[in-house]
Structure 1
Amino acid sequence: MSTTTGESAISGACCCPMAASKLTKREYETLAAFRFSLRQFLRFSEEAAKSEGTTPQQYLALLAIKGYPGREWATVGELAERLQVQHHSAVGLVDRLAGEGMVSREPLRMTGGRCSSASRREGRSCWASLRLSIASNSGALGRSCAGSSGC
C-alpha cells in the first residue's frame, strides 16, 4: 500500500481490545479525529507553558489548583488525583512550585496535611498569561468535537 506522497501506509488491522467491539469505520474516524484534536490542543498548551517559563506539569498543577471545584486550593492528594500521578510526584511538583513562589503551602487544621494555593503573585501572573493564550486555542478542540458528532 502506498500514498501519493510516497509514504508507506499502515494497515488498520490490530489485535487490541477495542477491535473486538466492532466499531464502524466512521466511529474509528471520529475517535481518531478527536484524539488528533486533543493532541494538538495539548501540544499547544505545552508550548504556551514553556513560552511563559514554566513546565507543562507546572501549568497543569496551577490549573488543577485554580480550577478545583468550590475553592481555589487543593490538597496534595487531590492534586495527585487530578494530575493522575503518584502522591510523591505531586509533593515534588508542589515543592518546586512553592520554591519558585508560584504556590504557597499551608497546614490543614483538620488532618495535619498540607494544601496548596495558587494565590501567590508569581503564580497569578503566570496563570493570567497562560489563560489568555490557551483559551484562544481551546475553541479549536470544541469545534473539532462538534464537527465529529460530538465527543
Structure 2
Amino acid sequence: MTKKQDALTDADYEALANLRYILRRFTDFSASAAQREGLPTQQHQALLAIKGHRGETPMTVGILSERLVVARHTASELVERLVGGGYVTRETDAHDKRRQTLALTAKAEDVLTRLSAIHRAEIRHMAPRLIELLGDLQTKGPVSKP
C-alpha cells in the first residue's frame, strides 16, 4: 500500500464507524424481532438460509453450516433444536442415504413470513443511508452523519 494513494483519512474512519453503527442497529433490530417471535437469532438465520436456498442440491446440514459460517456440528445442533421446536423436518436423501435434507414446516413458514416482511421494510428504510455510507467509502468523499 502506498501512503499517498491508500492512506486512511479521518473521513474513512468516520464512514467505517458509521457503517458499523448502522449494521449493529440492524442486527439489534433483527435479534429483537426474532425474540418477539420466540426464536433465538441463530434459529431465525437458519430458517432464512433454508428458505432462501436455491442451489442445485437440497439444503443439508453441511450447506447450512457454510451459509451460517459455523462449524458443521454447530449447524447440526441448531437443526436438532429447530426440529424439536417444530420448525424443520429432516428426510434421508434418496440418492445418498448418509445425507439428510432439511425443509421448513408450516409453522416455520408462518414465522419467517412475518419476520421477513418487517426485515424487508427496515432494510428499505435503511437503504438510502447505507448506499450513502458505501458511496462515502468508495469515493473518499465527504462523510455525513448517521
The TM-score bracket by the shorter chain reads 0.7 to 0.9
Q: Which residue of 1 aligns with 2:67?
A: 82
1:89-135 CA-to-partner distances (Å, cap 9, x unmatched) read: 100111111111111111123332112112x1110111111112211
- The match for 2:144 is none
* Deviation of 1:144 (Å): 2.0
Structure 2 residue aligned with 1:37, among 15, 22, 37? Answer: 22
* Structure with more of its chain in helix, by fraction: 2
Q: 1:121 to 1:33 in 2, by over 3 A?
A: same
- Greater mean deviation of Cα atoms: 47-56 or 67-76: 67-76
Structure 2 Cα separation of the partners of residues 60 and 77 of structure 1: 15
Pick from 95, 99, 108 the counterpart of residue 123 of structure 1. Answer: 108
**Displacement of 1:150:** 6.2
Relative contact order, higher structure (CA 8 A, sep 6+): 2
| Residue identity matched to 1:50 | Q
Partner of 2:86: 101
The answer to whether the 8 A contact 1:38-1:141 is kept is no
The residue matched to 1:27 in structure 2 has which SS? Answer: helix
Q: Which structure 2 residue ranges, 5 or more long, are not aligned?
A: 1-5, 138-146
Q: Paired residue for 2:121?
A: 136
Q: Distance in 2 between matches of 1:49 and 1:59?
A: 6
May I ask how many residue pairs the two structures share in their alignment? Answer: 130
State the superposition RMSD in angstroms.
2.0
Q: Percent identity?
A: 35
Q: TM-score, normalised by structure 1?
A: 0.78
Structure 1: segments with no counterpart, 5+ residues? 1-20
Q: 1-side partners of 2:18 and 2:120: how far apart?
A: 20
